[in-house]
Amino acid sequence: MIRRFFSYYKPHKKLFLLDFSSAVVVAVLELAFPIAVSWFIDKLLPSGDWQAIVLVSLGLFTVYVLSTLLQFVVNYWGHKLGINIETDMRQELFEHVQKQSFRFFDNTKTGHIMSRITNDLFDLGELAHHGPEDVFIAVMTFIGAFWIMLTINVKLALVAVLILPLLALLVVVCNLKMNKAWSHMYTSIADVNARVEDSVSGSRVVQSFTNEDFEIARFQKNNHKYRNAKLVGYRVMSFSLSGIYMMTRLITIIVLVYGAWLSFTGQLSYGELVGFVLYVNVLFKPIDKISAIMELYPKGMAGFKRFMEIIDSEPEVKDTDDAIEVASLSGDIVFKDVSFSYDQQKSVLEDINLDIRAGETIAFVGPSGAGKTTICSLIPRFYDVSNGSITIDGFDIRNITKKSLRSQIGIVQQDVFLFTGTIRENIAYGKRDATDEEIVKAAKSAHLEKFIQSLPDGYETEIGERGLKLSGGQKQRLAIARMFLKNPPILILDEATSALDTETEMVIQEALNELAKNRTTLIIAHRLATIRNADRIIVVTEDGIAEEGGHDELIEHGGIFASLHRVQYQQ
């Protein structure tokens, strides 16, 4: 996992080297400071040479101006490195989510995905910046400081590191605990996100059932879970930080007392004592740093693990290596012994055989839940069949690139999904390089032009989030206009007019009939009047395809379709 983490540094090698080398120079200067001080006290002071004192001070000053500049580099370029890596990861994650198949979205909460793309990567960026640099510098200064302390006075140096094992124990134990806490924190913030997403996008339902209090209570539960998880982490963190602080102060005092005794007995000069005490600080500073990394590391890695979980989940439906582009399909669709299930427990389709010829209009009818939508979502490969095969114009759809397959299938559903933006943008979603004339033509064909002309902003009218400023019929016509632009040889209308009143339905039906011309069209419909003109009607029940034939033929047959027909027309 660590190796994979480091692979994200590759594109930013230069930045990393610049930041890293500056940090090393800063650390070396810091190491040199106490030596300079003790030399100053022991050698320079007794000489009484003012000129030398001023010169040395000026030299020190210059060195520290330089060091300050380098600190800026370390800080700014270090953060730049972190944010660059974070941005790369975020982009990769988004691209990967775009590639995922329907089943992934069926099983993943939107809020969880959002939280991975936003929050989870914050700490990761910080870790990418601080991680390797700080660890290296810390180890280096620690060894450097200890080595210099040994050369000053071995006994005193050993006393100074006496407390180290205890310190290490504290840091390791706290780190394990924090690791767990931060991982809880991430899952619970993802839940908070999921709740927000759910209740905000469902706000109309919430309010119409006056369930605000219920939603608030549910949110509070998640919100508090997040708080508690974070609190546990912070408690452990504070404990560990104060522990470290206490131990470093304790050791400073011990060094002072023992050092004083050594200097009384003539084993240590004053300068050396001062230098030594300064080194105790240099020695323990890396421990502060390491413990900060210890805090950041589990946080960042918890985020990285969650990041990898998505990156590593292969999209279920993807192109084979030798998938072919098929430029223009005519629309002969054949299902051969197709079986399919969404999950292991229940099979939805079993041994379905269908033979649809190019240009035909086929209607699917049957009870809700029978599998009509499922049959249609197998054609654009939203899911792959579990058994059997589907071919279009003789090509197994698994051998055609997803892009060329899907670009030739148009789907209009009962609930239309529109994007926040203008009417023009939403129509143009069907063909992103469409000209203005094409857009107007599509709107006309969808019987939408008149409505658009009546709006003060016309095509530039903002339709609100998911098109909430439009009526059901307007949304549906917009979806149809989009389809006129896309102009696919295969068209699927999945209860496209079921949610509309009869009058609106009639207007839209006209547009749909227009749209269906010269294409292979599959219509799923509730109202049997809408499928009168279909070439063939297929009755789907939970047991599979029950009847198949022309409208009048099926009525004559006196089976399921005939009885459905009787129910609808006997009012």
Chain residues in the site for ligand ADP (CB under 6 A): 106, 342, 348, 368-374
Q: In what order do the strands lie in the sheet with 409-413?
A: 409-413, 490-494, 520-524, 361-365, 536-541, 544-549
Taking the least distance from each CB to ligand ADP, the nearer of 373 and 408 is: 373
Among Mg ion, ligand ADP, none, residue 348 binds (CB under 5-8 Å by kind): ligand ADP
Residue 361 contacts residue 535 (beta carbons within 8 Å) = yes
Minimum Å gap between C-beta 346 and ligand ADP is: 7
Minimum Å gap between C-beta 441 and ligand ADP is: 32
Tokens coding 254: 């011990």
Tokens coding 515: 């749209």
Taking the least distance from each CB to ligand ADP, the nearer of 346 and 450 is: 346
What span, in angstroms and rounded, lies between the C-alpha atoms of 194 and 278? Answer: 51
Among ligand ADP, Mg ion, none, residue 374 binds (CB under 5-8 Å by kind): ligand ADP
What span, in angstroms and rounded, lies between the C-alpha atoms of 571 and 569? Answer: 6
Q: Three-state DSSP class for 412?
A: strand
With CB under 5 A, what is the number of residues at the site for Mg ion? 1
Residues numbered 350 to 379 that lie near Mg ion (CB under 5 A) are: 373
Minimum Å gap between C-beta 524 and ligand ADP is: 6
Q: What are the angstrom distances between the C-alpha of 33 and each of 43, 268, 279, 463, 499?
A: 15, 19, 9, 66, 79
Among Mg ion, ligand ADP, none, residue 397 binds (CB under 5-8 Å by kind): none
Minimum Å gap between C-beta 315 and ligand ADP is: 16
Minimum Å gap between C-beta 500 and Mg ion is: 16
What span, in angstroms and rounded, lies between the C-alpha atoms of 444 and 442? Answer: 5
245's CB contacts (< 8 A; 6+ apart) are none
The letter for the amino acid at 6 is F
Among ligand ADP, Mg ion, none, residue 371 binds (CB under 5-8 Å by kind): ligand ADP
Taking the least distance from each CB to Mg ion, the nearer of 106 and 553 is: 106
The letter for the amino acid at 43 is K
Taking the least distance from each CB to ligand ADP, the nearer of 26 and 500 is: 500
Minimum Å gap between C-beta 384 and Mg ion is: 19
Residue 152 contacts residue 272 (beta carbons within 8 Å) = yes
**Strands 520-524 and 490-494, sheet pairing:** parallel
Q: Which residues of 438-448 are buried (b: 16+ CB within 10 A; e: fewer)?
A: bbbbbbebbbb
Taking the least distance from each CB to Mg ion, the nearer of 148 and 492 is: 492
Residues numbered 39 to 58 that lie near Mg ion (CB under 5 A) are: none
Residue in the block written with tokens 């094409």: 438
Among Mg ion, ligand ADP, none, residue 369 binds (CB under 5-8 Å by kind): ligand ADP
Taking the least distance from each CB to ligand ADP, the nearer of 71 and 541 is: 541
What span, in angstroms and rounded, lies between the C-alpha atoms of 484 and 268? Answer: 92
Residues numbered 493 to 532 that lie near Mg ion (CB under 5 A) are: none
Taking the least distance from each CB to ligand ADP, the nearer of 128 and 412 is: 412
Taking the least distance from each CB to Mg ion, the nearer of 415 and 465 is: 415
The letter for the amino acid at 344 is Q
Among ligand ADP, Mg ion, none, residue 462 binds (CB under 5-8 Å by kind): none
Helix (H) / strand (E) element for 352: namely strand 349-356
In DSSP terms, 445 is beta-bridged to none
Please report whether residue 222 would count as binding Mg ion according to CB under 5 A: no
Among Mg ion, ligand ADP, none, residue 106 binds (CB under 5-8 Å by kind): ligand ADP
Minimum Å gap between C-beta 540 and ligand ADP is: 6
Minimum Å gap between C-beta 405 and Mg ion is: 21
Minimum Å gap between C-beta 541 and ligand ADP is: 9
What span, in angstroms and rounded, lies between the C-alpha atoms of 559 and 368? Answer: 18
**Strands 409-413 and 490-494, sheet pairing:** parallel
Among ligand ADP, Mg ion, none, residue 351 binds (CB under 5-8 Å by kind): none
Residue 518 contacts residue 531 (beta carbons within 8 Å) = no
Taking the least distance from each CB to ligand ADP, the nearer of 302 and 348 is: 348
- Residues of this chain that interact with Mg ion (CB under 5 A) are 373
